[in-house]
Structure 1
Amino acid sequence: MDHHNPSTPNANAALDTLNSPPWRNRPAVVAGRSQHFNELQTRRGDGGLHGSTTIALQPLPAEVVIDHLSNFRADINAPAGPWDAVIDRIIDQPDGPLAHAMSTPWLLTLTANALHNTPDISTQLLTCASQDKIRATLFDTLIPTAVAHIDQTNTKTAHYTADTVHTWLTTLANHLNRTPEATLTLDQVAAIGAHQKQRNLIVGLAGGLAGGLAGGLAFGLVFGLAGGLAGGLVFGLAAGSLREPKRIAWRVPGRSRWPRALAVGLAVGLAVGLAVGLAVGLAFGLALGLVSWLVIGLDTTDRDRLHLGQDETRTIHDDIVFGLVIGLTGWLVFGFAFGLAFGLAFGLPLGLASLSTTWYYAATCIEFRVTGVSAACPAVFLDWARRAGLLRVSGVGYQFRHDTFQQWLLNSVEPARLPDKAA
């Protein structure tokens, strides 16, 4: 949870949440590394989770490892030769590198899967002189095996190769290695791209052009385009602080947003109405206040989304829905008061501005398609990598299945390939 951060702010925040309503006193299991747990325990007394019981995992005994490999082979009805070679080495050398490596569930699982998909790997495992070498040998099979099992009827992933997947995962590994966070959410994909400032301006000007065309319906094309492009330029320059995924929710457990939204909406409406004038200004102010009330009332914070639960694959989808609802609401409200053309001139830019996360995600997809540093559709790739066992999900973010796999990617020179027989 706290990559390269000894103060562990994320872990502390998670424990604070679990110790507070509505999570407090609920049954929960919190998994972590022994070293990290000991550090938290030193800072927080009882490990941070009030009334908790500590369970420390121990190395798997040799007999458990042997039983698991034997049962796995029997379940898939695989030839006994390669499996027996590994099992015999563990029996003959219970203190050897292979036996020590298999005592961890992570490497035991990788070994069983590798023997299943590439039986010839048993010969390589027997020649490894250290646990690090065994781990690297097993990692060599992960990406080629995942690619070999791609459904060729799925047009979204059928073009994936071992080379491209290795490149894309290495890009992700480098990005996570440079950031304090250990996960990547879909709204953070834009941070991977190398052309951040250029993308800000392009997205801002594109949004300004769309808003300017809409404004031209009410104020004339020249005035609308000038205002839209100017606003888009400002938006692009300030975009770094505006990129936050949105999600609509009518009700959030434990928090009421609508009274505050109503107060803000009334304040905005009255302020604008008094500033512009009591006739048209008051109508415009009330319309703007109504839209502000809906925007604030429907929006959710990170903490709200934590309580509601969120699908990691729907971050961009939820942002699009939010922008469409806000844009349509603005169009209808202003359109009812001043006409549909005027409503479109204000509603469309409002909806476009609400879609800042989506625009940057789309611009990053285009950049990835041109440069090839990552998949052109990150949402599809990250979900495939999770299902293939290369990544896992933590909250609404993706992270590597194990940090040792991430380090292997950072240190590897070129992608490994399966033997021709297995491929």
Structure 2
Amino acid sequence: MTTGAEGAVVRLGVSAARPAWRWIRPSVSHSSLAGYADELADDVRRRETALRDQLRAGPTDPNLAVEITVRTKTDTTPVAVARITECVQGLRVRRVLLLGEAGSGKTVAATHLVLGLLDRRRELGDAARAAEPVPVRVNAAGWNGEQLFSRWLAERLGSDYRLHRRVAKALVDAGLILPLVDGLDEMESVEAAHAALARINEVPWRHRPLVVLCRTEDFEELRQQPGGARLVGAATITMGSFSHEQIIGYLKQRQTDDDVADDAWSEVIGQVERESTGPLATALRTPWMLALADTAQRHDPEIASRLARSTEADDVRARLLAEQIPAAVDGRDRDGPYEHYDVDKVTRWLATLARRLDERGATGGDGTTIRLDEVWELAGPVRCRALYGLVCGLVALLGLLPSFLVAVDEEPSWLDEGWWSWLGLAFPLVIAIPVGWLPDVEGRRLAWRIPGRSWWRHALSRLWEPTWLAIIVMVVCGVFAVFADITAVEAVVLVALALPGCLAYALVRVLSVDSADKGKLIMHETRLVRDDATAAAVIGALVAVAIWAGFASADRLGGEPDGSLLAPLYSGGYFGLVAVMVYGVATGRYLTAAVLFSIDESFPDRPARFLEWARRGGLLSVSGDAYQFRHETLREWVKANTPS
């Protein structure tokens, strides 16, 4: 090759390596962070706009008027506003605690606050915008309060918006993120929420701008914890409920719209006027319930008459909660991935979820929540296990067939040499049966570091099993060498075959996260299956490399390859695939369930997408890293209105 050609190859290699290196280790200079912040702002705007549009037809209409109270340490002032979208306009305090009862409009207010701050940020010049933080709403449900807030926030940004971990951490450390922490009331326990609030009050966040959203009653419970609960330096916004005059005014205004009959709400208006503190006025006092009533009227013109005849506030709420599904469906993207969602399908899917939770509760399991790596149970636990085990067995069998055919072709009498000759053919059964009937397993996860634990101490505590395994392997090889009368070289070959596997096992043990350590890591309800798939892929790759290294080393030490049944590359790939199937049981069952769902349509074939859509639409909520029905009434309603 000429010098010019060599230079061209080098330049081509450098050109290809530069973007790869930027992807592996992106720049976090001041100018680079400004660009990343602008890109994040665009992503946040798209997501919050979609949520705003969904909520507009959903459980809270953003045009409803509310009364809020802004309270600081020195001032408590009721502020009447024309619309819920204006509840945060004009607020000069940068740290805000936003409280309100269920349905009072906290999420809508947060969404419009994010979009308003993004609009203001976009109007700034380049230099000022580079220093202006990006408002981002994050869900605290998967946080246990043990991790530092900065670390948890960076992990959440990376997960929600696919930011590189290095970039997310740099944006947080540089103060370019203004977090709106939603779901404090959805955390696993009061103690976790209390610990999370304490983390937020630590330096450097003690003096940084942020917003925390929580239900009023849940925050009052936090106040009862030892040491109390507060957001240091924050103004408290309490979103109030409607008076009966506001309810009447809104319904009268709706009757002037073209899509509503002139007397559509006459009976309800009359009932609220007669009993200003009665069950109907009590039930309709939150923006959420009033918006649901409006949505119900569009689907059922007779709903107003039934509401007016209700004698209990709970009866009114129950009737309106049944309208959550039409409300959520109305707010979906007509041309997006949810275009095939309709009221009947969503109702059927939620009924499937509700009945499975009932079955789990009846057998002593968790009857209120379900994680993403447990969704396969909705397809029928027995058939899903059996089908996945069958698939694993078939894959294992098909992977072995080429090798057996080659062996038989080269030595036809091979299968007649003894019972052990058939052992390989039984290997698929050895895989299929245990994999198919393993007990319920959580999604696996690998992590290089566990917060609050020394890496070296953790690694040493996990290495004793692999160490003893390696010692046993060498002892067995030595004993075999003595009694089988093999040469020292052949004994070394046996050790070379086994030791790479021991090393791979040692690495897997060090990286694997057990149940006790999972609570110390940041969990994300939408990533459980993805984390399990990643862990299975990494473990499979380690097994493949270990098998390849073992056979390659044995061939090198023992002389030329002897044409064994499984060549190094083939055997490594095969056993790597088997390891993926064995270790990725949660992922495999999830994918198997998705196939079954596409056939019987008892649940959507993209379960993760549906569960997250239902959460954003107010049908489900998140508790820790699991989904649950936001209201028990909705759960009972979907079961009662869907055939078994």
Under TM normalisation by the shorter chain, which class is it? 0.7 to 0.9
Change over 3 Å in CA distance of 1:382–1:24 after alignment to 2: closer
User: 1:240 pairs with 421, 424, 439, which one?
Assistant: 439
Aligned sequence identity (%): 28
SS of structure 1 residue aligned to 2:628: strand
How many pairs are equivalent? 384
The question of whether the paired residues in 2 share the 8 Å contact of 1:215 and 1:344 is answered with no
Report the residue type matching 1:358 in the other structure. Answer: T
Deviations 1:122-178 (A, max 9, x none): 454333332233123212322123223332322x42222211211111111122233
- Equivalent residue, structure 2, for 1:375: 604
- Equivalent residue, structure 2, for 1:110: 289
- In the alignment, the residues of structure 1 paired with residue 638 and residue 295 of structure 2 have an alpha-carbon distance, to the nearest angstrom, of 23
Q: TM-score, normalised by structure 1?
A: 0.75
TM-superposed deviation, 1:94 = 2.0
TM-superposed deviation, 1:95 = 2.8
- Equivalent residue, structure 1, for 2:342: 161
- Equivalent residue, structure 2, for 1:332: 545
- In the alignment, the residues of structure 2 paired with residue 284 and residue 69 of structure 1 have an alpha-carbon distance, to the nearest angstrom, of 81
- Equivalent residue, structure 2, for 1:251: 449
User: 1:205 pairs with 374, 390, 395, which one?
Assistant: 390
1:179-198 → structure 2 map (5 Å cutoff): 179=361, 180-194=366-380, 196-198=381-383
Report the residue type matching 1:261 in the other structure. Answer: R
- Equivalent residue, structure 1, for 2:58: none
Change over 3 Å in CA distance of 1:199–1:23 after alignment to 2: same
1:80-99 → structure 2 map (5 Å cutoff): 89-99=271-281
Change over 3 Å in CA distance of 1:224–1:275 after alignment to 2: same
Change over 3 Å in CA distance of 1:72–1:229 after alignment to 2: farther
Report the residue type matching 2:473 in the other structure. Answer: V
Of 305-314 and 327-336, the range deviating more from structure 2 = 305-314
- In the alignment, the residues of structure 2 paired with residue 16 and residue 145 of structure 1 have an alpha-carbon distance, to the nearest angstrom, of 34
The question of whether the paired residues in 1 share the 8 Å contact of 2:371 and 2:627 is answered with yes
1:30-41 → structure 2 map (5 Å cutoff): none
- In the alignment, the residues of structure 2 paired with residue 366 and residue 332 of structure 1 have an alpha-carbon distance, to the nearest angstrom, of 31
TM-superposed deviation, 1:67 = 4.7
Change over 3 Å in CA distance of 1:123–1:251 after alignment to 2: same
TM-superposed deviation, 1:236 = 2.0
1:273-422 → structure 2 map (5 Å cutoff): 273-277=474-478, 278-338=491-551, 339-412=568-641
The question of whether the paired residues in 1 share the 8 Å contact of 2:348 and 2:602 is answered with yes
Q: Does 1:229 align with 2:429?
A: yes
Report the residue type matching 2:290 in the other structure. Answer: T
SS of structure 1 residue aligned to 2:526: helix
Unpaired runs of 5+ residues, structure 1, are 2-10, 415-423
Deviations 1:289-320 (A, max 9, x none): 21112212222234534333232222111111
Q: Does 1:270 align with 2:270?
A: no
- In the alignment, the residues of structure 1 paired with residue 252 and residue 493 of structure 2 have an alpha-carbon distance, to the nearest angstrom, of 79
- In the alignment, the residues of structure 2 paired with residue 381 and residue 294 of structure 1 have an alpha-carbon distance, to the nearest angstrom, of 36
Cα RMSD of the aligned pairs, angstroms, is 4.0
The question of whether the paired residues in 2 share the 8 Å contact of 1:217 and 1:345 is answered with no
- In the alignment, the residues of structure 2 paired with residue 384 and residue 127 of structure 1 have an alpha-carbon distance, to the nearest angstrom, of 34
The question of whether the paired residues in 1 share the 8 Å contact of 2:351 and 2:642 is answered with no
SS of structure 1 residue aligned to 2:276: coil
- In the alignment, the residues of structure 2 paired with residue 296 and residue 359 of structure 1 have an alpha-carbon distance, to the nearest angstrom, of 21
TM-superposed deviation, 1:14 = 4.1
- In the alignment, the residues of structure 2 paired with residue 137 and residue 251 of structure 1 have an alpha-carbon distance, to the nearest angstrom, of 50
SS of structure 1 residue aligned to 2:369: coil
Of 261-270 and 398-407, the range deviating more from structure 2 = 261-270
SS of structure 2 residue aligned to 1:300: coil
TM-superposed deviation, 1:207 = 1.2
Of 156-165 and 183-192, the range deviating more from structure 2 = 156-165
The question of whether the paired residues in 1 share the 8 Å contact of 2:318 and 2:633 is answered with no
TM-superposed deviation, 1:326 = 1.0
TM-superposed deviation, 1:188 = 0.8
User: 2:462 pairs with 245, 261, 273, which one?
Assistant: 261
The question of whether the paired residues in 1 share the 8 Å contact of 2:332 and 2:339 is answered with yes
Q: TM-score, normalised by structure 2?
A: 0.52
- In the alignment, the residues of structure 2 paired with residue 208 and residue 181 of structure 1 have an alpha-carbon distance, to the nearest angstrom, of 32
Q: Does 1:138 align with 2:320?
A: yes
The question of whether the paired residues in 2 share the 8 Å contact of 1:247 and 1:300 is answered with yes
TM-superposed deviation, 1:71 = 8.0
TM-superposed deviation, 1:270 = 2.3
Unpaired runs of 5+ residues, structure 2, are 1-140, 142-185, 202-211, 231-237, 409-421, 479-490, 552-567
- Equivalent residue, structure 2, for 1:417: none
Report the residue type matching 2:278 in the other structure. Answer: G
The question of whether the paired residues in 2 share the 8 Å contact of 1:213 and 1:225 is answered with no
The question of whether the paired residues in 1 share the 8 Å contact of 2:329 and 2:343 is answered with yes
The question of whether the paired residues in 2 share the 8 Å contact of 1:209 and 1:225 is answered with no
SS of structure 2 residue aligned to 1:312: coil
The question of whether the paired residues in 2 share the 8 Å contact of 1:208 and 1:229 is answered with yes
Over alpha carbons, which structure has the higher Rg?
2
TM-superposed deviation, 1:93 = 1.0
Report the residue type matching 2:432 in the other structure. Answer: G
